[in-house]
Structure 1
Amino acid sequence: MRPFVAPVSHRERLLGAAAQFTAERGWSALTMAKLAELVGVSRQTVYNEIGGKPQLAEAMILRELETFLARVDAAFSDNPADLVRAIEAAAVNVLELARTDPLLHMVVRSSQGAESDLLPLLTTHSEALLDAAGAVIGEHVRRYDVPLDRERMQVMVDMVIRLVLSHVMQPAGEPRETAATIAWIAERVLAA
């Protein structure tokens, strides 16, 4: 007997196809009709499941964020007694994944050309991304015994996320070196 495998929802299939197509051909080449054709559903199904193209963009970015946050979860799980080491490992994981992520590469490349619809979701309109990352990382950080009150801890989490995101968008060095610097900054904040 075969094990039960849950069917993939239309939404997941749509987001996966949109991300793959966008990474390969660019965001401006993707239309809702093309997406419907790729997945084998009606255009109305695309609109019912996703909404318009702006909602598709945000859903794709948040879906991609889940992949990155899974790496963050692993880093914190691997370092349950050392917050600074967990931050460093999480930063390494994210920065290394960013180097090979095809959708992220397309978004970053688009910042140098005309295709910039997705870029603001990582920069000037990144509230959803920052909120989602902040919630996940904040939950991990609260498990550690640290000398900061909740408000200051949230400020530190926000700082780390923004530093990592900045290096995702414009790498300044090797992931391990950058992560070590971010961890050093976090350690100084924790010691203050």
Structure 2
Amino acid sequence: MTGFRQAVRTLLRDRILDAAYGLVAAEGWGRLRIAGVARAAGVSRQTVYNEFGREPREAIGRALVERETERFLLGIHRELESHRGELLAAARAGVGFVLAEAQGNALIKAILTAERGGGDDELLAYLTTQDLVFDAATGMLDAYAAEAWPEVDEVSRSLAVETIVRLTVSHIVRPSGSAQESAGRIAGIAVRVAYGGEGAGGGAGR
């Protein structure tokens, strides 16, 4: 019975988050209200409070960013696996996937539109200044890089991962050129960091 209850609660949570996502995509984060989320999800306001606590708006925002981050990380992992053993190609593919997906992502558009318009930047903080996205991305990439690129020493690997995550987030917030152009530059920088400025040698793969 416990497993069933947990499954039902997960479905309820996803239903509320789906409703919130749709409202944010249509109206922006600044106009999101708990009453509207409850109405769109077909539940009571109390149900939303029961699920997300006494500050449900903040909790919903964090949960939305967490959910999108997980989806992005799955896509990144898929791109990396398709270029295993080729550091430069893998980095370019992973970053390119993120930047291309970010351009069409409704939640990210809402975050950036609010920020550029001088509006509510609560969600932007999750994307840039807090550790939510950074920790999840670096944790996954560190684990993958340790397995896929053992020839890169631990310190250089860690620096390269941090570089690629920070630059990618920066390019999401402030795009410069096309997704593929930016991905190529970011990947090139990360490879140089990983190999101590020696370029894409040592098995990095051009």
1:9 aligns with 2:14: no
Shift of 1:145: 3.0
- TM-score by length of structure 1 reads 0.90
154, 159, 162: which one aligns with 2:163:
159
113, 118, 122: which one aligns with 2:123:
118
Shift of 1:42: 1.8
**C-alpha distance in structure 2 between counterparts of 1:100 and 1:133, whole Å:** 20
**C-alpha distance in structure 1 between counterparts of 2:154 and 2:40, whole Å:** 46
State the secondary structure of the residue aligned to 1:142: helix
1:137 aligns with 2:147: no
Matches within 5 A, 1:1-192: 9-51=11-53, 52-113=56-117, 114-125=119-130, 127-192=131-196
State the secondary structure of the residue aligned to 1:143: helix
Shift of 1:130: 0.5
CA RMSD across the alignment? 1.6
Percent of aligned positions that are identical: 33
Greater CA deviation, 113-122 or 96-105?
Answer: 113-122
Corresponding residue number in structure 1 for 2:4: none
- TM-score by length of structure 2 reads 0.84
Shift of 1:117: 2.1
Greater CA deviation, 153-162 or 86-95?
Answer: 153-162
Greater CA deviation, 110-119 or 89-98?
Answer: 110-119
Shift of 1:146: 4.0
* Residue identity matched to 1:186: A
State the secondary structure of the residue aligned to 1:171: coil
Question: CA deviation digits over 1:140-185, x for unaligned, max 9?
Answer: 1111234443243222211100000000111101111111111111
Aligned length: 186
Structure 2: runs of 5+ lacking an equivalent: 1-6, 197-206
**C-alpha distance in structure 1 between counterparts of 2:151 and 2:183, whole Å:** 22
Structure 1: runs of 5+ lacking an equivalent: 1-5
**C-alpha distance in structure 1 between counterparts of 2:93 and 2:79, whole Å:** 5
